[in-house]
Structure formats: C-alpha cells, structure tokens
Amino acid sequence: MIIALGFSSCSSDDSNPVDPTNEIINDNNEIVKDVDQDVTLMAGETYFINRGIHVTEDASLTIEEGVTIKNGESSYLLVEQGSKIFIKGSAGKEVVFTVNTQEAKPGAWGGLIVNGQAPINVDGGTATAEVGDAIYGGQINDDNSGSIEYAVFKYGGNQINSEKEHNGVTLNGVGSGTKLDHIAVYNASDDAFEWFGGTVNATNLFAYGSQDDIFDWTYGWTGSVENIYGEHNSAINNGENDRGIEADNNGSNFQALPLSKPMITNLTLVDKDNVGSNGLKLRAGTAFDLTNVVIEGFGKVADGAATKSIIDVETLESIGHIEDATSSIEKLKYMAANGTELTYSVKAGSGQEDATDAQIEAVKGFFGAGLDASATGAPQALVTWGKSVAVGDSDAK
C-alpha cells in the first residue's frame, strides 16, 4: 500500500511537471491558458497547444532541450512585450514545434511570434501584430525577449483572414538583447522568417519550403545575421512561391526612419526548380549590407527564359541608397538553374518617376561590381544541420 502510494505520487509529478498550483498546463501536458507566470517545459517531454497562447505579464516560458510541441489548427505562441521565451535546444536535442493530429502541410497551424520593444518605423512608433492584437515596437534598442537556440518550426504560417497571416517565425520589433541561434523553419505557408522592424541579430538561420517569401523584412529592421540559408521547395509550390528575400523599408512611407538596413553575411538562396520569382526584391526604400551571397535559380523560368528578374530594385529611395553607397554588396555569385542567366530590373514604385537610364546603369554597375566567383554563401555545417532536422522528415508528427 505504501509502495503504491509512492508510485502514484511520482507518476503524477511526471505527467504534470510544473507546479500543480498553477493551471497553465493540464494533466495531459496541454498548455491550456496564457503563460502569465514563469513556466518550464521539461526536457524530452511532449506538450500540446490547441489555441493561441500568449506569454504575458512579464512572465518567462522556458523550454528545455528535446521538447516537442504539437500544435492544433488554431494554435500559435506569442511572446508579448516585456515577457520572455527561452528555448534551450541543443544539437541533436532540438526543440521541435510541429502539427498535432491534423495533416502535416504548410499552414497547418500558426507559428511563433515575438513582440519586442525595439524601434519600428511606423507612425507613433508602435503597431499591432497581425496575430493576437498585441502591441510591438518602442524605444529600447537592446530590448531582451529571451533566447531561442536550436529550435525547429514545421508546417506553420496559417492564414487567419485575407489580411492576416502567420509566418513560420515572426519577429516584431525584437531588440538586440535577444539571442537567436540555429533556428530552422520547414514548409511554412507565407514566409519562413519575417522581421517587422527591430534590432535583433541572429546566427545560423535555415529555411526550407515557404509558400511566399523565404525571408521578408519591413518597418526598419537594422539587425545583423551571420550564416543564413533558404531554399524553395517546389513540392509545395502552389504557384505563388515568391522571393528569396522581399525587403521593404516601409510600404507606405519609403523614407521612414529608422531605415531598414540589416547586415547579412554568408547568405545562400536556392530555388532549384525556378518556382520563385525574384532572388532579391529590394524596395519601398530599404537599404542593406550583404556580404558573401550565393543565389541559385529564381526567375520563374518559362520556356527556358526567366520571366522575373533575379535581382529587382524598386523605388527611387532604394535606388538612391545604392547610388550614394548607403547600401553595399560584396562577393555575390549567381548560379543559374535551367540555363537562366543573371538578370536585373530596376524600376520605380507606384506613383514615382521612372528610374532614369543613369540610375538603371548605376544599379546594374553596383551588383556587377559585387560579382565574385569566390563567394561561398552559407556554411555547409548550417545546411547539413538544417536538412537533418527539418527536411525529409518521416517523423512529421
């Protein structure tokens, strides 16, 4: 009898490893309400989310290595301003977010959204997230939303309505005090990674399969990323695979400050089957510093000819940042898929004057001068890691 009681107590602890006084995680390891006090998900366990969960009230959600989180159709995880997430995966013991019982396909659940207090360039300095009606943006450059290390996000990015869509990972005004390293996104609907302003830096980002853009930024993102690899997956092509990078400063104010100007080093963008449109779409006033870039494919090839430009610069402001050397590119290599050749287009946006011949020549000359056959792009170690944790996964569920 005493032994039986001992077992009972132990097994109860195992199935509900958080403080039994809080009601955030039920006995089935389902997170059933917002995380409004510090919670830890225990190493190696599987948890479930079936609704939108916010980390709120300045609480922290810590996820230990080897945790799997299975997400129902209505599920997403949003870290509000002032709260923190600590994803503590490690090599071989990644933290994996995937679907629960529904079909494993792009957009089968929401995604991760982090809302920080770093600057964004919209009027008033704050905005409301597309998802969850939570505010982001502020004046804290080194704002700290926690750390995300060795995390994998599969099948996220569902569409909420015609205007609102999740991405695999959405970084809203996230500050430079936040650490991002070894994050993989697999078969997301919409974008794999999207930055809405902020100052956050990252290392080792991997994306495979996204139905819109692979990487997307707007609203004045100024962080740096070292080692970044993205590949379109034609197996999920819905005819809408878009850009390798789609970069804006601000779509309704091309001159807004702070200026979108991320520094990206060791970048590879791959589109082996030419299902994507532009490799680089640089528009709405964005600036950029790109170093060691390899672009393979893109251009939506039809009948052997590219119907889209591999590099497309739009708006007089984005062209101007190239002309006055606010933007830079070093070591760019283009590898044609299906016999296409590197093509550029330069144009002004809606309502603007046409780019002049001199501007067109300046932009072509800028990228031409950056061409360097010794470019290597993302390191092989990142590609190997990403493909091992996030591609060809027989264990999708």
Residue numbers at the binding site for Ca ion (CB under 5 A)? 167, 190-191, 194, 212-213, 216, 242, 246
Assigned token pair, 99: 């679907």
CA atoms of 386 and 269, how far apart (whole Å): 14
Least CB distance to Ca ion at residue 246 (A)? 4
Least CB distance to Ca ion at residue 46 (A)? 28
Contact 154, 99 (CB under 8 A): yes
Helix (H, G, I), strand (E, B) or coil at 264: strand
Contact 396, 100 (CB under 8 A): no
Find out whether the peptide bond into 258 is cis, omega within 30 degrees of 0.
yes
Contact 152, 97 (CB under 8 A): yes
C-beta closer to Ca ion: residue 143 or 242:
242
CA atoms of 154 and 391, how far apart (whole Å): 9
Least CB distance to Ca ion at residue 32 (A)? 28
C-beta closer to Ca ion: residue 88 or 243:
243
The closest of 119, 297, 134, 324 to 214, measured between CA atoms, is 297
DSSP annotation of 33: S
C-beta closer to Ca ion: residue 59 or 313:
313
C-beta closer to Ca ion: residue 64 or 248:
248
Quick one: angle between helices 316-323 and 357-370, nearest 10? 60
C-beta closer to Ca ion: residue 94 or 231:
231
CA atoms of 201 and 209, how far apart (whole Å): 23
Tell me the residue number closest to Ca ion, measured at CB.
242
CA atoms of 111 and 98, how far apart (whole Å): 9
Least CB distance to Ca ion at residue 182 (A)? 22
Least CB distance to Ca ion at residue 122 (A)? 14
Least CB distance to Ca ion at residue 210 (A)? 9
C-beta closer to Ca ion: residue 149 or 212:
212
CA atoms of 78 and 16, how far apart (whole Å): 22
